[in-house]
Structure 1
Amino acid sequence: MTGHLLGRAALAATLLVAAPAAAAPLAAVLPVPAAVTFGTGTFRVENGATIVVPGRDAAARNAAARAIEIVARTRGLRLRVAEGGAGAIRFVRAGKATAGDEHYRLDVTPAGIRITAASDAGLFYGAMTLAQLLAPDARLGDAVAVPALAIDDRPRFAWRGVMLDVARHMQPVAAIERVIDMMAQHKLNKLQLHLTDDQGWRIEIKRYPELTRKGAWRASTTPNDGAPPGRYGGFYTQEQLRALVAYAAARAVTIVPEIDLPGHAQAAIAAYPEIGVLGDRPPVSGDWGINPYLFGTDTRNLTFVRNVLDEVMAIFPSPYIHVGGDEALKDQWQASAAVQAQRRALGIADEQRLQSWFIGQLGDHLARHGRRLIGWDEILEGGLPASASVMSWRGEAGAIEAANMGHDVVLSPGPVLYLDNLQSARDDEPPGRLKIQTLADVYAYDPLPAAIAPARAQHVLGAQANLWAEYMVTPEQREHALFPRLAALAEMAWSPKAARDWPAFLTRLDPQLDRYRRQGIAAADSAFAVDFAVPGGVGAALRARRVTVALTRQVAYGTIRYTTDGSAPTATSPAYATPLTVAAGSVIRATTIAPDGRALAAPRRFDTAPPALLTRTSAALPPCTTTPGILLRLPLSPDATAGPAHSMNIFDSCWRYPDAPLDQLSAISVTVGRLPRNFALRQPQREQVVWRYNPTSFGTLLVHAGDCAGAVLAALPLPDPASAPNRFTLDAPLASTTAQADLCLTIAPPVGGPLYGIDTVRLTPKEPR
């Protein structure tokens, strides 16, 4: 076991004793430490204070420098570091470090602060806790009175990871460094870089230059800074990656490279078609999903992959090398006479076992170089190579099976640890997947499944959150997806299970949100953002010309405060208690205010004028639920960095407008986006795509009363894609009816035609008589 499982009974007792005094000093520390005791008095840290580190101890000096940098940005205090001599704030080496040791002690007395550790990582994490203690609130530039306490801390799990997908949309090195900075402050220690996929090869391999000359670029209509016209992509040089490895190591983060194979190989085969199976040269894919291209399995192809891995190992000193292994459709292997002949000659029963053999060959190669293979849970299929570790993403089943077999595992299950899932159903969420995973959902997950036998629990290395990036182009979109949910991951993976406490976590998150802001991190405020609902229904409100509005948010922390006079809500604005009733046309602005008077979210606005009440964006139009599919929130083009996003089921262009007051309506206006249908669907999925009867040349938007078999209230032909922009508005009168019911909106393009998404639906009320 490379993780550290603390004695739960002893820890619980420590925390229980400490709890009455813990709230104030621990309000700044996240993740919560393993054990804390409290003393009497405080130690005051002024501007210009010195941190003393042992002489000629580069790691201690680095840890102090990182803490000083953070405190300067989050508190405005300018500290300095000195080697040797006396000082009130000291870093001390004590004991003998062992492999995987991340333990530290932090002691505060009225005489000073002392951080003690045997290992480099321990000193670093002590420094990160110190930086949080020195920025406990939103004050800037003030001295800090640190309460007397003793922290004895070490992680619950050794693997506390984040995966960044830079293959679909390459990110600037500086953006990755910002994520590493935040990982370090959260005591997260593994950064997996997903460097290759069907849509791009992002790592320079000097022996095979075509991998980046051709494989790093795909066709695109979206302008790409620095790229040739019509091409999108890029790659990292080996020098850039070595510098990134050093940057991460200075922050106690190990970068784990992922080279995805035998599937997700289209970009590589676009560069070198001879490493594929059937000999053709595909383009680098612009389609999301599972493409069919596989690496070949003969000696030439294995040599190619081994040579690639040799250069990868020369860049990344990580003990683990990730080889993917996921979603490898076996059609090409099945269709290849050469592959089938090789399979039979090896005495391998089927293609699943052939993949196991293939992965095993790579595992042996890595082992000869002192490295360990890790892959997604599909590497279990056909038999798991003896040296392999498993990252379980399709739920927990893969981790349970592998751990009970004696293999090390990392829990990374979707959807809860897939941070490309949105954090709320709000219309201001950026693109992503529509299986909402809130901050609370992530915090509640525990990465030690009960189905793993107690004697095998030591094989659980830890947990990892994955950020796939098909729908996330910019660094800001990724930071929105990562933070603050990575704070929840950190407490889940570092802190003892007995110490986890959701209300207390929110208290600790409060100052962390301010630390994000001062470090320029575009963290989401989704958990604290105010949502609005009309409990009595819009129809009743229109008739009464009075609107009752309920205000809610995801978490019970802070106070909802609101205004109706057009001003931004502040700490002195009225506190929300019960639904508000206002005259139609009033505008409510609301936010969540922290106990210290800071706004925890940007103010949200709710207009009660009839046209606004009758307007729905796509986020408020639930996809029809009768059809299976893939629910996504998509931009207008795959590489768009801004613009509208469309919530939809890509298998069925069908939406519901709930509770439309049909008896009060005269017309409908729908803003529509035309999107490329760039999804590589497997055969069973293709059969699930709904193609409706289309009565016009280029497609039709139909508006039905009630369900989608109801009366047609309006039929709106779509314009010619050759001449119309990819965002347009359709207007039509609505047939008269006296019912109040849902509307069903369907879009029927020609079979095989583009994908259409609804941006906004606006219903026009009848003129008052």
Structure 2
Amino acid sequence: MNTHNIFKSVLFSTLLLIGNSCSDRKGIDVIPMPRSVEYHSGNFTISPETKFYTNLSAESRQALTDYLEGTSLGSVPFAESATGNNGIELNLCDSSIVTGNEAYRIEIDKKGVRLSANTETGIFYGLQTLLQLLNNGDNKTLPALTINDSPRFPYRGLHLDVSRHFFDKEFVKKQLNAMAYFKMNRLHWHLTDGAGWRIEIKKYPRLTSFAAWRPFDKLNDWWVGGRTFCEQDDPRAVGGYYTQDDIREVVAYAAERHITIIPEIEMPGHSEEVLATYPELSCSGKPYVNADFCIGTEKTFEFLENVLLEVIDLFPSEYIHIGGDEASKSSWKTCPRCQKRMADEHLNSVDELQSYMIHRIEKFLNDHGRKIIGWDEIIEGGLSPTATVMSWRGEEGGIKAVKAGNQAIMTPGKYCYLDAFQDAPNTQPMAIGGYLTLEKVYSFEPVPDSLSTKEAELILGVQGNVWTEHIPTPEHYEYMIYPRILALAEIGWSPSEVKKWDNFHTRALQAVNILREQGYNPFPLEKEIGDKPESYQKVNHLAIGKKVTYANPYSNHYAAQGEKTLVDGVRGGWMYNDDRWQGFIDCDFDVTIDLGKETDIKQVCAEFIQLKGPYVWLPKQVIISSSVDGEHYDTLATVDNDISPDIETLQFKEFGWEGNAKARYIRYKALSNGITGGWLFTDEIRIK
């Protein structure tokens, strides 16, 4: 089976008609849900006599014919003139009938189908809805209805990381087919990163003969094995890249599906592969030492501008993504060239030095008719008025950008990072961490309440991100994308008032079946286990609502419910990022609970979580003490950890005491294992 065309054969099981009356209809199983649907009695059945008619140009009509080949509408021929009864009309109209570049109107009655739009993109999206509406029984019956539809946001994206693990052009095209089917219109192609360079640049052939290849099959082995690269003809070489012809082919393929591809060329950080190949662009001048470009040398800007010239030639996108995230900037602080640049440009910090680089690259791209998008770190040191911010570290970056008058795309990790576990972690393939269910993705609202109506207009849309540290195969990649990206497709397209979780879940189950039949490997939503059982029901204990005193502060990034977190009766779920686990970084967890009066106690316990990838560790030791007066404490228990920090899989462990004692104050201290950058997470201290 040709698996890269989602529209072949039977694509949908979508409309259940119990009767002909409007009140009997279940609704339509379309993703994303249209803005407005009016139901009528009856239906239209495609017959051998049915024909298409369109007022599109001959060239556009042929493109549609080619596109529809092999679909449920592929056997319907085009007529040279309007067909009247028993026809499917696809007509461009003026904006008085349909308003919006991606909008469309569908009218279906027993005589036929009329699809109207004022752009070819609108016609294309209307066809996706028709394809999804076709009845599962005979693929020929369409319900009588009227749909008026247009997207909520102009940007509805999927991010594809091919640096950490390389995926060939056929895989990319396969995902473009699914994106088009669900009306997504932006592919953010992450082509370069420290783990591998994936785009041919004629002026710098070593980027693809050397920086695209690693002498390790698995990324983790490469990570701990020196992070070196090798020649393409090395027998150990693993990796790959896209030739410029490959790029042009994929860009054209996307354009036929009304998808714009936005390339990302990382700078100044995440550039280990470039600096291993061209060390003169680093602060040290040596390979395998630095991760950030040296901003003090003009050679860096010469390189970046030459690369971007070839990128501009390959991608017609208005935007070029320049990364900008997670640059350590550490080498800049001692690099003589960077320090001289800072002095010459009157820059007061390395953040301003990064901003200098971003502004300079932006001007170069502006001079060549393009605009920049960058991760929210590009705000640091000052943001130019024409840059668009992709907010990933929560929503704050997007809020800050739009309040400054800049446009933003919302892609916060809490809702949009599809490389997180999507079900009980012990049942799932390896993931970077986090727990992100389909329901939680669907709950995301891209426009924060704090924005005014005018500011909200600067939110361009949403994007789902997939990073491939732990995703080595195409099957695993698709497992992580689908069906969660469908939730973001609906968030990006449908108005919030038509979104309903239970209804979407039913439609997503249908979509999973369709994807599976067409050769994709979606997560089996019908077998979802759900969150950790303890998280569903509140627990009652003596410390509920009592005062908690912290010797060391919790992290503002993982504050959960603040000072009531540890005594609110709410247990954490499968992962530390669910707003129920409270996090502490680079310190001991040390709290004292005041029960209010001397109390008989028999048990004190708390649970901790460990996941090696994101540096979340179990404590080295736990010390539990009690006091009657708050000054003199007796040790009730000292509990050592017996689980190794080297275990890769998710671990939970309770540290507690049981016995008989009288106490008003309970001190619970969990010792950090001393690994720099390490976290401790707990959810509730239960006292009985």
Q: TM-score band (shorter)?
A: 0.7 to 0.9
- Secondary structure of the residue aligned to 2:427 is coil
CA deviation map 1:477-534 (0-9, x unaligned): 1111111111111111100111111122123223322221221111112464357999
Q: 2:200 aligns with which of 196, 199, 204?
A: 204
- Give the deviation of 1:171 after TM superposition: 0.6
CA deviation map 1:74-126 (0-9, x unaligned): xxx75233252244112111126999711111110110011111212111101
- Who is 1:154 aligned against? 150
CA deviation map 1:4-54 (0-9, x unaligned): xxxxxxxxxxxxxxxx94884742211111112222211012468543333
Q: 1:379-458 alignment to 2 at 5 Å?
A: 379-458=378-457
- Secondary structure of the residue aligned to 1:383 is coil
- Who is 1:735 aligned against? none
- Give the deviation of 1:647 after TM superposition: 7.8
Q: Is the 8 A contact 2:34 2:150 kept in 1?
A: yes
Q: 2:611 aligns with which of 648, 653, 657?
A: 648
Q: Which amino acid aligns with 2:128?
A: M
Q: Matched residues in 1 for 2:247 and 2:271: separation?
A: 21
- Secondary structure of the residue aligned to 1:129 is helix
Q: Matched residues in 1 for 2:398 and 2:575: separation?
A: 37
Q: Is the 8 A contact 2:318 2:369 kept in 1?
A: yes
Q: Which amino acid aligns with 1:212?
A: T
Q: Is the 8 A contact 2:318 2:370 kept in 1?
A: yes
Q: Matched residues in 1 for 2:466 and 2:48: separation?
A: 39
Q: Structure 2 vs 1, CA of residues 650 and 121 (structure 1 numbering), >3 Å: closer, same or farther?
A: closer
Q: Matched residues in 2 for 1:356 and 1:374: separation?
A: 14
- Secondary structure of the residue aligned to 2:415 is coil
Q: Is the 8 A contact 1:165 1:194 kept in 2?
A: yes
Q: Which amino acid aligns with 2:387?
A: A
- Give the deviation of 1:750 after TM superposition: 14
- Who is 1:188 aligned against? 184
Q: Which amino acid aligns with 1:279?
A: G
Q: Which amino acid aligns with 1:314?
A: D
Q: Which amino acid aligns with 2:380?
A: E
Q: Which moved more, 1:372-381 or 1:274-283?
A: 274-283
Q: Which amino acid aligns with 1:118?
A: N
Q: Matched residues in 2 for 1:426 and 1:315: separation?
A: 40
- Secondary structure of the residue aligned to 2:457 is helix
- Give the deviation of 1:144 after TM superposition: 3.2
Q: Structure 2 vs 1, CA of residues 84 and 326 (structure 1 numbering), >3 Å: closer, same or farther?
A: same
Q: 1:486-565 alignment to 2 at 5 Å?
A: 486-526=485-525, 528-530=527-529
TM (norm. structure 1) is 0.65
CA deviation map 1:363-392 (0-9, x unaligned): 111111111111000000000022211000
- Who is 2:277 aligned against? 271
Q: Which amino acid aligns with 2:81?
A: G
- Who is 1:256 aligned against? 262
- Who is 1:109 aligned against? 109
Q: Which amino acid aligns with 1:648?
A: L
Q: Structure 2 vs 1, CA of residues 48 and 415 (structure 1 numbering), >3 Å: closer, same or farther?
A: farther
CA deviation map 1:628-662 (0-9, x unaligned): 579xxxxxxxxxxxxxxx9833477967xxxxxxx
Q: Structure 2 vs 1, CA of residues 28 and 244 (structure 1 numbering), >3 Å: closer, same or farther?
A: same
Q: Structure 2 vs 1, CA of residues 654 and 346 (structure 1 numbering), >3 Å: closer, same or farther?
A: closer
Q: 1:69-468 alignment to 2 at 5 Å?
A: 69-71=70-72, 79-82=75-78, 84-87=80-83, 88-95=87-94, 101-134=101-134, 136-137=135-136, 139=137, 142-220=138-216, 228-282=234-288, 292-468=291-467
Q: Structure 2 vs 1, CA of residues 441 and 353 (structure 1 numbering), >3 Å: closer, same or farther?
A: same
- Secondary structure of the residue aligned to 2:390 is strand
- Secondary structure of the residue aligned to 1:415 is helix
Q: Matched residues in 1 for 2:44 and 2:122: separation?
A: 22
- Who is 1:42 aligned against? 43
Q: Structure 2 vs 1, CA of residues 345 and 252 (structure 1 numbering), >3 Å: closer, same or farther?
A: same
- Secondary structure of the residue aligned to 2:172 is helix
Q: Matched residues in 1 for 2:532 and 2:36: separation?
A: 43
Mind listing any 5+ residue stretches in structure 1 that lack a counterpart?
A: 1-19, 72-76, 284-290, 536-551, 553-618, 631-645, 656-689, 693-706, 728-737, 740-747, 753-769
Q: Which amino acid aligns with 2:612?
A: N
Q: Is the 8 A contact 2:295 2:353 kept in 1?
A: no
Q: Which moved more, 1:511-520 or 1:181-190?
A: 511-520
Q: Matched residues in 1 for 2:308 and 2:168: separation?
A: 23
TM (norm. structure 2) is 0.72
Q: Matched residues in 2 for 1:252 and 1:56: separation?
A: 17
Q: Matched residues in 2 for 1:499 and 1:99: separation?
A: 20
Q: Matched residues in 2 for 1:118 and 1:424: separation?
A: 42
RMSD: 3.9
Q: Which amino acid aligns with 2:611?
A: M
Q: Is the 8 A contact 2:423 2:528 kept in 1?
A: no
Q: Which moved more, 1:397-406 or 1:144-153?
A: 144-153
Q: How many equivalent pairs are there?
A: 551
Q: Is the 8 A contact 2:198 2:242 kept in 1?
A: yes
- Who is 2:556 aligned against? none
- Who is 2:478 aligned against? 479
Q: Which amino acid aligns with 2:309?
A: D
Q: Matched residues in 1 for 2:576 and 2:375: separation?
A: 35
CA deviation map 1:232-257 (0-9, x unaligned): 21111111011000011111110000
Q: 1:723-742 alignment to 2 at 5 Å?
A: none
Q: Matched residues in 1 for 2:210 and 2:437: separation?
A: 39
Q: Structure 2 vs 1, CA of residues 387 and 716 (structure 1 numbering), >3 Å: closer, same or farther?
A: closer
Q: Is the 8 A contact 2:271 2:293 kept in 1?
A: yes
Q: Matched residues in 1 for 2:304 and 2:58: separation?
A: 40
- Give the deviation of 1:278 after TM superposition: 1.6
Q: Matched residues in 2 for 1:409 and 1:60: separation?
A: 36
CA deviation map 1:667-715 (0-9, x unaligned): xxxxxxxxxxxxxxxxxxxxxxx889xxxxxxxxxxxxxx995479xx8
- Give the deviation of 1:282 after TM superposition: 1.6
Mind listing any 5+ residue stretches in structure 2 that lack a counterpart?
A: 1-20, 223-231, 537-573, 587-608, 622-635, 649-657, 660-671, 677-688
- Who is 1:543 aligned against? none
